[in-house]
Amino acid sequence: MTRSAFAPLPDDAGYFGRFGGQIIPPELKRVMDEISEAYDEIRARDDFQQELAGLFADYVGRPSPIFHARRLSERLGGAQIHLKREDLNHTGAHKINHCLGEALLAKFMGKTKVIAETGAGQHGVALATACALVGIPCEIHMGQVDIEKEHPNVTKMKILGARLVPVTRGTATLKDAVDSAFEEYLKDPRNFLYAIGSVVGPHPFPKMVRDFQAIIGREAREQFQERHGRLPDQVAACVGGGSNAIGMFTAFLDDEGVRLVGVEPAGEGLDTPRHSATLTLGQPGEIHGMACYVLEDEAGNPLPVHSIASGLDYPGVGPQHSYLKEHGRVDYVTATDDECLDAFLTLSRVEGIIPALESAHAVAWAMRTAPTLGPDQHLLINLSGRGDKDADYVAARLSL
Ligand SMILES: Cc1ncc(COP(=O)(O)O)c(C=O)c1O
């Protein structure tokens, strides 16, 4: 297979090789097919693309810059580290890219309510923001554990006018929030739109969210080329469901010389049950209407997962990542909670940038990798979000 075979996926049935699809009841399949058709038609329209491009520029503040982390690179004594600053977007993370896309799509489709789950709260805040802007009611389901951990985001969602639904079942984290939000959506799928928070779920969501996020890599590739006259040697991003990573990777898939690295959460260690390294230790299975790598028990039930970063603790992963792993185009590696905390504090103190705990996983990989390479090597990291939401938690945990 040639590398360029990666670009046109998924196929019409929503498959990336053997991953993805629509593993859902027939009634729901009809609804998903309608969304898929509407999406293909609406995204081809100039008025949709112009409105989205205008909002990306004037509302989100795109293009986000690339920052050369010189002091961090010098301190590590190896490769040059560059950060794609998605943390500077309005609402503080990459999530606003697909939330604006989904909210606009809901408006163009005449939907009456947008429903979603959230883990760290970034997707919830971004969606509540986009819905406020577009003028559509918004309902966010969030695990009780995450509600307590991510309090500032909870407050913001309420201020933005979203209805917040606490989820107490199961482990009261992201997977349970997805289940709960999906149940609400099924009550009236014709009038509601489920705005999924990552490149997961049944077709067309992995494709739609990827398309909206692909702006990250398109910009980054052009910016890097313009500034350095060449492409980076390695491009890395953290992987929860996989939206910021696929957004970054898509533009580079055909660049054979560019190594792509997805960083999964190793939590308290891969030899403990307290991790969320789906692609590293999981196996092909099914979850939330898609075929993908899954961390599951012998009976096929999703395992409880853990990461210090709420937005990364998900037992499934995007089908396109599952495909890219199997085809060897992206290397998936891990970083532990402790490495992530170290990266969080180091980036804050050496560059004055407080990263989200999710993004700190990618920074941790860069900190581990840079010293093994020469100064002519360039690592481009997607800094998917800012860490204000995590500041109190980290300060308490490290007794600062
Ligand atoms: C800042 C940030 N980065 C990354 C993620 C993980 O999501 P994804 O893997 O879809 O990019 C989240 C999820 O909440 C997040 O808030």
Q: Is the CB of 97 under 6 A from ligand 1?
A: no
pLDDT confidence of residue 389: 87
Q: Is the CB of 209 under 6 A from ligand 1?
A: no
Q: How many CB atoms lie within 10 A of CB 290?
A: 29
Q: Report the number of distinct structural domains present in the chain.
A: 2
120 and 235 together in one domain:
no
Flag whether 9 is in a domain.
no
Flag whether 10 is in a domain.
no
Q: Is the CB of 92 under 6 A from ligand 1?
A: no
221 and 243 together in one domain:
yes
Q: How confident is the model at residue 207 (pLDDT cuts 50, 70, 90)?
A: very high
More confident residue, 137 or 151: 137
More confident residue, 122 or 321: 321
pLDDT confidence of residue 5: 56
Share of the chain above pLDDT 70, in %: 98
Q: Is the CB of 309 under 6 A from ligand 1?
A: no
pLDDT digit string (tens) for 318-333?
Answer: 999 999 999 999 999 9
Distance 37 CA to ligand 1 centre (A): 27
For the sheet containing 15-16, what is the strand order? Answer: 15-16, 19-20, 290-294, 283-287
Which residue numbers are catalytic?
95, 117, 384
Helices vs strands, H then E, count in the chain: 16, 14
Flag whether 4 is in a domain.
no
Which of 251, 253, 250, 264 minimizes the C-alpha distance to 337? Answer: 264
Q: Is the pLDDT of residue 4 over 70?
A: no
Distance 384 CA to ligand 1 centre (A): 7
Pocket test for ligand 1, best of 384, 386, 389 (most atoms within 8 A of CB): 384
**Mean pLDDT computed over every residue of the chain:** 95
Domain boundary among 210, 238, 253: 210
What is d(CA 340, CA 119) in angstroms, rounded to the nearest whole number? 18
276 and 295 together in one domain:
yes
- Domain hosting 266: range is 61-92+214-397
Atom of ligand 1 nearest to the CA of 240: 9
Flag whether 152 is in a domain.
yes
Flag whether 356 is in a domain.
yes
pLDDT confidence of residue 149: 82
The mean pLDDT value for 349-367 works out to 98
Atom of ligand 1 nearest to the CA of 356: 1
Q: Is the pLDDT of residue 56 over 70?
A: yes
Q: Which two tokens stand for residue 11?
A: 């196929």
pLDDT confidence of residue 7: 62
Distance 52 CA to ligand 1 centre (A): 21
Distance 181 CA to ligand 1 centre (A): 18
182 and 311 together in one domain:
no
177 and 293 together in one domain:
no
Q: Cα(first)–Cα(last) distance of the chain, in Å? A: 52
189 and 280 together in one domain:
no
The mean pLDDT value for 228-241 works out to 98
Distance 82 CA to ligand 1 centre (A): 19
Q: Which residue's CA is the closest to the ligand 1 atom numbered 15?
A: 311
Flag whether 144 is in a domain.
yes
225 and 127 together in one domain:
no
266 and 162 together in one domain:
no
Domain boundary among 192, 210, 228: 210
What is d(CA 100, CA 104) in angstroms, rounded to the nearest whole number? 6
The mean pLDDT value for 216-240 works out to 98
Which of 319, 60, 62, 332 minimizes the C-alpha distance to 198? Answer: 319
Q: Is the CB of 153 under 6 A from ligand 1?
A: no
87 and 153 together in one domain:
no
pLDDT digit string (tens) for 373-400?
Answer: 999 999 999 999 999 989 999 999 999 9
Flag whether 1 is in a domain.
no
pLDDT confidence of residue 52: 98
Q: Is the CB of 213 under 6 A from ligand 1?
A: no
Q: Is the pLDDT of residue 368 over 60?
A: yes
Flag whether 7 is in a domain.
no
Distance 311 CA to ligand 1 centre (A): 5
CATH number at residue 267: 3.40.50.1100
β partners of residue 66: 84
pLDDT confidence of residue 122: 85
Write phi, then psi, for 233 (nearest 5 degrees).
-80, -35
273 and 316 together in one domain:
yes
- Report DSSP letters for 328-343, one per residue: TSEEEEEEEHHHHHHH
32 and 134 together in one domain:
yes
379 and 259 together in one domain:
yes
The mean pLDDT value for 270-280 works out to 98
pLDDT confidence of residue 310: 87
Q: Is the CB of 244 under 6 A from ligand 1?
A: yes
Domain boundary among 165, 190, 210: 210
